[in-house]
Amino acid sequence: MRHSLYEADHEDFRQSVRAWLEKEVAPFHDDWERAGIVPRELWTAAGAQGLLGIGVAERHGGGGVRDFRWSCVLSEELVRIGASGVGFGLHNDVVGPYLQDLATEEQQERWLPGFCTGELITAIAMTEPGAGSDLQGIATTARRDGGHWVLNGSKTFITNGINADLVVVVARTDPEAPGSRGLSLLVVERGMAGFTRGRNLDKVGLKAQDTAELFFDDVRVPAANLLGTEGHGFAHLMQNLPQERLHIAVSAVAAAETVLALTVEYVTTRTAFGRPIGSFQNSRFVLAELQTEVTIARTFVDECVRQLDSGDLTATDAAMAKWWTTELQNKVADRCLQLHGGYGYMSEYRVSKAWRDARVQSIYGGTNEIMKEIVGRSMGL
């Protein structure tokens, strides 16, 4: 299937990203997996390379183009080399839009330049130990005290949690307002008194990605760090979640393509019973089924990207893309691991890492069950 999402410029950018990643990331990622984190220097190097803040205005040091395809290229290239620990996507595509769209000019001046140079690494903290799928259950509170908000509570599973310098924290600023009302976004900065981090969580995969708990103990956040409108936190999240989900879907498709390609190569070289194992009809059918679904997924996600860029992508579309592609990614990784036989179970084989990395995709960004709720609701059910 001929795909036509990208233009020549994007493909040029892909080449330069690929070259940079081959040099700066690929040789070190295994070490970072062992370390459980990527070094801060990678971020500033990426900033220098123009990989951070592609969509941020030029006056703040960004790329100045709001075209989601550049982000997609970057995500895809990271995925292709298995660089699952490098949290640029969260920074650019998930946190970025909050800062670009909700921050005041003053805030933008404070934060965006560092965002683009890689000196300010970002994170977003919604989930709490007791509130994941159900954001209405958020218990972190921020009480107004003069020119500050006094923040108390804890967050968990926060991507870039150790490295982050700026954390967009969802907190309850109006304790009276029921459910999702009364939430606001506060930007907590590294070094604020009372803001501590838990350990870097040990995960099944995404080994090089720092994921952590964050604790807020009477953290005094200046009122000037309120992001967006007080009490509109939930609406702000709803506004940005489609892009976060599409970002996940884009990486899911790229991951599926990657593992499928390397498996096709594996099964054409590995032999058993005197034949390439890819020549057994079962292998052929399994791979043909996966190839079909990956092709279909690519077509759909490409269309979603177009519609995101044209402002047409609905929350329902994003939910569809998120659950379906991540389920597919997991299926592809699983079937491909099986086709590797015993080698598939060895950590040194890329397919085994792909399988472990894939598993979280159907969980974060809103679980796939929550995605089905969203789709179901859109059908009037």
Question: What angle is formed at CA 219 by the lines to CA 159 and CA 184, rounded to 5 degrees?
Answer: 65
Contact in structure between 212 and 200 (CB atoms under 8 Å): yes
Using CA atoms, how far residue 12 sits from 7, 8, 48, 116, 344, in Å, is 9, 6, 18, 21, 34
Contact in structure between 225 and 186 (CB atoms under 8 Å): yes
Identify what 285 binds: a copy of itself, ligand FAD, none; CB under 5 to 8 Å per kind.
Answer: a copy of itself
Q: Which is nearer to ligand FAD, 14 or 247 (CB)?
A: 247
Stretch that binds ligand FAD, among 20-28, 109-117, 139-147, 268-276 (CB under 6 A): 268-276
Using CA atoms, how far residue 287 sits from 262, 363, 378, in Å, is 11, 25, 34
Q: Which is nearer to ligand FAD, 100 or 368 (CB)?
A: 368
Q: Return the DSSP state at 52.
A: S
Q: Which is nearer to a copy of itself, 60 or 356 (CB)?
A: 356
Mutual orientation of helices 105-117 and 40-48 as an angle, nearest 10°?
100
Residue from 139, 177, 272, 288 that binds ligand FAD (CB under 6 A)? 272
Q: Is 304 helix (H, G, I), strand (E, B) or coil?
A: helix
Contact in structure between 306 and 299 (CB atoms under 8 Å): no
The amino acid sitting at 31 is D
Site string for ligand FAD, 338-357 (x = CB under 6 A): xx-xxx-x------------
Q: Which is nearer to ligand FAD, 213 or 302 (CB)?
A: 213
Identify what 124 binds: ligand FAD, a copy of itself, none; CB under 5 to 8 Å per kind.
Answer: ligand FAD
Site string for ligand FAD, 68-107 (x = CB under 6 A): ----------------------------------------
Please tell me whether residue 363 binds ligand FAD under the rule CB under 6 A. Answer: yes
Binding site for ligand FAD (CB under 6 A): 123-127, 132-133, 157-159, 203, 206, 211, 270, 272-273, 277, 280, 282-283, 338-339, 341-343, 345, 360, 363-364, 366-367, 369-370, 373
